Amino acid sequence: MSELQQGKQAHFNVFLRGSGHHSAAWKHPDSVPKEDLDLDYYANIARIAERGLFDSLFTADNYSGLGRRLEPFTLLSALAALTKHVGLIATVSTTYNDPYHVARKFASLDHISKGRAAWNIVTGHSKEDAENFNRPEHPDVAQRYEIGDEFVELTKQLWDSWEEEALVYDKENEISLDASKVHEIQFKGKYHNVKGPLNIPRPPQGYPVLVQAGSSENGKELAAKTAEVIFTAQQTLGAAEEFYFDVKSRLKKYGRTADQLLIMPGLSPIVADTEAEAIDIENEFNALLNPKHALRRLSNYFTVDLSEYPLDGPVPVDKAKPYGSITTGITSRQQVVVDAAVRDKMTIRQFLARSAAAHGHVSFTGSVIQTADFIEKWIRNHGADGFNILPHIYYAGFETFVDKVVPELQNRGLFRTAYEGTTLRENLGLARPENKNKAIWALRRDAEQLKAQQI
């Protein structure tokens, strides 16, 4: 085992999702589904995350459907005032937003939280999103990523439109702002033309941490170019190792190194003191599933209706839609889900249970020691830099992980015993990006001063 592998520590994010990530969590006697819209509920989860020294918490978002999700900036701004350490990751689409608004909101969140903001970059989910934004059509995948690439670059330039020394607060000379250090960017792209500057100073972290979720070819390329954390879904260590190597090997062509991108697959753990107790918990939740509803959702990946097949018969993998044909939702998830059914030769009943537990991410059911072993194996073998934890139910499932698995990982030297810094970047081990235009602004200012002297 290499020295790098021996000294490597895991990073953890917790994914906020209603009553929990098991499809039947909201039906469990211990859940209170109406708390989905309750700030105190999310504040308690955030406090549990801080108790467990988690790097961050993450909220997903979309712009259509009948979900009950609070708007991310509103929720995370409130949580920023109620927490001190945990990072705050908001999902924001590059297809159905304006770069100026996004740059301003994330800069605000980063200032409010004193450097704990992060942006989960998505390109949009479905044509229903387009219909809610008065758009004639939902762009295809290639165009969405093209738009997203330009969007992120423009947003960075807006954050960089303020030099660090722009705010001076010189009371004696009555100067609060050095306007010569705030600049128009004059961005002209294929989809956006923006004069700038932004109307808020550069974020404390330089940029909020940039996160990308998805495992498609376009997604991996965007992650290699732009992202600092990638949330992904692999169900075996072999697949995770392959993805890890693939994405990390793409960084070099963008002038980046492997330590500038953390890869964090989703993990839905059901943990108890013993394996038998954990299996009992899993069975309890699976018994609450409505097979009809679950089959309807999973049939989206197939050309047939799965409800017409026997539950204890094999998954008709030969009827799966061609990879890449799914155009809504997370398009790369189809391959992960169907490949798992092929690999493990699942029955439809097993397919339902596996999908219900982690909606495409890897699930693990076992004792505290077994769960720590699982995490250690993936970390040591370069299948992950950490995990995006998807508790099967809040609060109990999350508290068990924090209060029992985390101490076991700490005993093994695999997880921090205190936060390393005050910002999310510091805790993730990511450098604060320099203002890319600093040298340009300095040269321009020197030229203007020289011109003034000549006059």
Return the ∠ at Cα 308 (arms to 299 and 28), rounded to 5°: 65
Q: Does the annotation flag 323 for ligand binding?
A: no
Phi then psi for residue 38, to 5 deg, are: -105, 120
Q: Is 91 annotated as a binding residue?
A: yes
**161 carries a ligand binding annotation:** no
The pLDDT of residue 6: 57
Give the pLDDT score at 323.
Answer: 64
What tens digit of pLDDT does each residue of 26-70 get?
999 999 888 889 999 999 999 999 999 999 999 999 888 777 789
Cis peptide bond upstream of 201, omega within 30: no
Distance of CA 348 to the CA centre of its chain: 30
Within a domain: 15: yes
| 188 φ, ψ (degrees, to nearest 5) | -130, 110
d(CA 121, CA 104): 15
Q: What pLDDT was estimated at residue 48?
A: 98
Q: Per-residue pLDDT for the chain (455 aa), expressed as one digit of tens each?
A: 343 455 789 999 999 999 999 989 999 999 988 888 999 999 999 999 999 999 999 999 988 877 778 999 999 999 999 999 999 999 999 999 999 999 999 999 999 999 999 999 999 877 888 888 888 889 998 899 999 999 999 999 999 999 999 999 889 989 999 999 999 999 999 999 999 999 999 999 999 999 998 778 888 998 999 999 999 988 889 999 999 999 999 999 999 999 999 999 999 999 999 999 999 999 999 999 888 888 888 888 898 998 889 888 998 888 888 865 554 545 555 667 777 777 778 898 888 887 787 777 899 999 999 999 999 999 999 999 999 999 999 999 999 999 999 999 999 999 999 999 999 999 999 999 999 887 777 777 777 777 777 76
**Residue 413, CA distances (Å) to 1, 267, 269, 307 in order:** 15, 20, 20, 47
Which of 202, 228, 226 minimizes the C-alpha distance to 103? 202
Q: Is residue 89 part of a domain?
A: yes
Can the peptide bond before residue 197 be classed as cis, meaning omega within 30 degrees of 0?
yes
pLDDT tens, position by position, 316-349:
888 888 865 554 545 555 667 777 777 778 898 8
Q: What does the pLDDT read at residue 440? A: 79
* Residue 288 belongs to a domain: no
Domain containing residue 106: 3-276+361-454
Cis peptide leading into residue 254 (ω within 30°): no
Residue 374 CB: number of other CB atoms within 10 A?
Answer: 18
3-state secondary structure of 267: strand
> In whole angstroms, how large is the CA radius of gyration of the chain?
23
Q: Is residue 339 part of a domain?
A: no
Q: Containing H/E element for 345?
A: none
E strands, 330-373, where? 362-367
216 is in an annotated binding site: yes
128 occurs within a structural domain: yes
Q: Can you read off the two tokens belonging to residue 185? A: 């960017």
> In this structure, what CATH number is given to the domain that contains residue 42?
3.20.20.30
Q: For 240-263, how does the pLDDT look when each residue is reduced to its tens digit (9 = 90+)?
A: 999 999 999 999 999 999 999 999
Report which DSSP code applies to 405: I
Is 100 annotated as ligand-binding?
Answer: no
- Dist. CA 148–CA 261, nearest whole Å: 18
Residue 281 lies in a domain: no
9: in domain:
yes
313 occurs within a structural domain: no
The count of domains in the chain is: 1
